[in-house]
A and B are shown apart, each in its own frame.
Chain A
Amino acid sequence: MFANLKRIFKTAWQGINRNSWLTIACIVMMVISLTLFTSIIIFNYAANYLINYLKEKVDISLYFKTDVPEEDILKIRDELLGREEILSIDYISKEEALKKFEKRTSSNPLIKKALEELGENPLASSLNIKARGTEQYQKIAKDIENAPFKDKLITIDLAENQRVINQIHSLAKAMKWGSFLTMGVLVFISLVIGFNTIRMAIYALHEEIEIMKLVGATFWFIRWPFLLEGALQGFFASLIALAIFIPLIIWLSPKVEMIFAGFNLASYFWANLGFIFLIQTAFGMFLGIVSSFLAINRYLKI
């Protein structure tokens, strides 16, 4: 058993060494496959991040008439919080709203002056509602329209938000499907690239396989070294792909951050380096082993 294991490793290593051009060709093509594969993972993450980022920006604001006392508003808030589809509600009092407004417009002396002339706080208290899912905003808004406290409200600003909400919702859906589809297509392409390269490499050796059969080698004795070679090629390709990604991410990350504020590609990459390497290596080795297995089986018939 141990002697056979040693022989398989020895034969596989010889194959890698002595057919070095074939090995290099296979590894290069696998690096391309794996680079595609890992790009998909990173792109997928970025797309999810973007969708969540946009989703977080969406909310419904209920603006209350100025004569509604705070305790009534808090009561309504507690009532609404009991609903399943609502994730959280922020209460913003008139004073808070004013403070925020002043802060936001501090650079505009005209507004400041107008407020001073007005003498009182013109802003309304409000409740900012966040739903569990973007598709639930419409239902929440509808329910509020029919709620008994409807007459205490000045306005529900969903009407303005509705278009954005719908757009984000369909964008999220499209991106989910799009990235799913792209992922499928690209994984398929990388599989085809890897498989065909290995198939050609094994084709180049098919005479050797025939000879091994003629001298009475069992199929597994012929097959194992090829499978191991495929796995090793996948492993090396994964190492090289990672070596390509590291400088690429470092270079790309600040550029992406300029477009999507707060999205740090590099920190995601570093935090998930282990996972990315693991899944990429697993994919590479799977590709190498399965391709070798399928390619060699063509020649292993009696």
Chain B
Amino acid sequence: MSLVYFKNVSKSYNGNIILDNVTFEVERGEFVCLVGRSGVGKTTLLRILYHEEPPTKGRVFFEDKDIFKLKPKEVIKLRRKMGMIFQDFKLLNSKTAYENVAFALEMTGYPEETVKKEAKELLRLVNLSDRLDNFPHQLSAGEKQRVALARALIHRPEIILADEPTGNLDPINGWEIIKLLLKINELGTAVILATHDKEVVNTLNKRVISIENGKIIRDEKEGKYLI
């Protein structure tokens, strides 16, 4: 049973084809780089996977369940099995670093003590123990992305979906994030890293799915960025 299965998925907006008959699988614990120039449909593919928008054609399975046949309540549960990080971080600006992470756990009704322990532990993991009470506008870009990563991990997800996570970061901070993703992956969580950063992809030496014009043009076990 694969974790993620895209079966002949197409997506178009007003006749503009963004994804064209895309089929691939991601296994549990796998690390996959999704590469291609900006605008080729990497973000759309991830948005479909976390049920933000439906495909025009085709089906998407997560743990063998067609995610577009789920009830709203099940969609909420599905999202808790996926951790997401974005180029623009998507942090709650009115909450502190600690609250951003704790919030994701509070909503599942965990007792206060557990929430505190887990959130602090994760923020320690991403080296932010001394920034707990800072609001996003008081953090650097790299720190914001690490908060986002801690939040993504709080539900112990099956998979991390990272959409250009290093896009707004300098190379050093970018590598910090990539290293954290590798560490998370080593602990058994699958990762889909959508990026157009050639250097990152070529250094990782992981599976690479290359997309061009909405189509998968290459899918290699230990691939390189060749576009």
Contacts and interface: CB of A to CB of B under 8 A. Distances in A.
Interface string A7-19: 1000000110011
Residue picked from B80, B84, B107, B111, most chain A C-beta under 10 Å: B107
B72 A216 contact: no
Contacts of B79: 213-216
A215 B79 CA distance: 6
**B-side interface size class:** 20 to 34
Interface in B46-77: 50-52, 72-73, 75-77
Nearest to A217: B107
Contact of B104 (A4, A19, A215, A302): A215
A211 B76 contact: no
B106 interface: yes
Interface residues of A, number: 21
A221 interface: yes
Interface in B69-108: 72-73, 75-77, 79-80, 84, 90-95, 103-104, 106-108
Interface in A202-243: 207-208, 211-219, 221
A211 B91 contact: yes
Judged by DSSP, the binding face of A is helix
A3 interface: yes
Given A302-B51, A302-B72, A216 B107 contact: yes
B94 A18 contact: yes
A14 B95 CA distance: 9
Given A18-B94, A302-B72, A218 B107 contact: yes
B55 to A, nearest CB: 15
Contacts of A215: 79-80, 84, 103-104, 107, 151
Given A214-B52, A218-B76, A302-B75, A15 B94 contact: yes
A229 to B, nearest CB: 12
B109 interface: yes
Residue picked from B50, B51, B95, B106, most chain A C-beta under 10 Å: B106
A208 B103 CA distance: 12
Nearest to A210: B90
Given A18-B94, A214-B52, A214-B90, A3 B76 contact: no
Interface of A: 3-4, 6-7, 14-15, 18-19, 207-208, 211-219, 221, 302
24 contacts: A3-B112, A7-B106, A14-B94, A19-B94, A207-B90, A208-B92, A208-B93, A208-B94, A211-B90, A211-B92, A212-B103, A213-B79, A214-B79, A215-B104, A215-B107, A215-B151, A216-B76, A216-B77, A217-B107, A218-B73, A218-B76, A218-B107, A302-B75, A302-B76
Cβ-closest 10 pairs across A and B = A216-B80, A216-B79, A217-B107, A221-B107, A18-B94, A302-B72, A215-B104, A211-B90, A302-B75, A208-B92
